[in-house]
Structure 1
């Protein structure tokens, strides 16, 4: 029991430190799209969609601008009472669920239809987007039923998928640095690596009662 508690504390400290660092990196990426531009960063390789689908930019900017707040509010929500943020938990959780269900996940699912890397990448991003929406909606249902422990577990699953925005980019750097694959092959790989390991890790931590 004592070992499990120490492991849990270590995990939370490392998780917090890692999140703060990578959140800052994600914020810098988001700021690249302010003011609105259609030829910077990721959009430079999506010019076909930009030029042929007028709605693409609307979905893209909706996803980018809301996801950074989803990332932050989700992190604050899962800190819970362990870090002394009890007062913020409910409010940040509401913001997280509202933004994700109405804006971030639907726009992400739309973007998944046009994902780089071909069919395999598209399938992965569509599955992830649907699971992201479903796990969040499930957490919402459970908290309304006052099933607090189950709600917490489903929020962790949801946030594991939210963190794919970070882990996807981490895997991309690692794979490109060590293996130098074709760019489209990279997308096919990280499309799956970005979220499946996250969910598997969370399931292990839930079952070991570390979160």
Structure 2
């Protein structure tokens, strides 16, 4: 574990793997260290943000020395029920994924929907969760030519990750289907349906 300065009020912890990043994120949130106002997990990092306005200035050197000694939980997965995301599997890239993997369309759908996923971290756009747990047989590269606009609700895969586009945006992931479940809603508290550690299941449904 390597701790680096990130400006005058934050530390960036390089954990080396996503599982340790999850566990450190959980440990920091449980510790509720005075002056720490946000903890932002990444793929192999955790950003620890402090705010002097909330009280006495945090001694970043002391905080940096403390972080490697925090007791990490054995399992940082969210203990709540998985978020179920209904999916109509009619994506533009479904046939291509079947060809690339040597599987039938039905087998691609079955393997995608049968897996248990966990949100590794959020990034790219608000509410976009990178989901781990994708069946290795479905690990395919991103498209060589990204689309300029991917519709909101598109269910996609790329490399070892699965995801759902929370809003219309450019993207190069392979599209397997679509969902009407809103992942990002500014009127909701919090706006994002997903957060690091959230468990996710995809539920196939028929096209209306």
So what's the TM-score if we normalise by structure 1? 0.22
Rg (Cα) greater in structure: 2
Report the structure, 1 or 2, having the larger strand content. Answer: 2
Report the structure, 1 or 2, having the larger helix content. Answer: 1
So what's the TM-score if we normalise by structure 2? 0.22
Work out which structure has the larger RCO, using CA pairs closer than 8 Å and 6 or more positions apart in sequence.
2
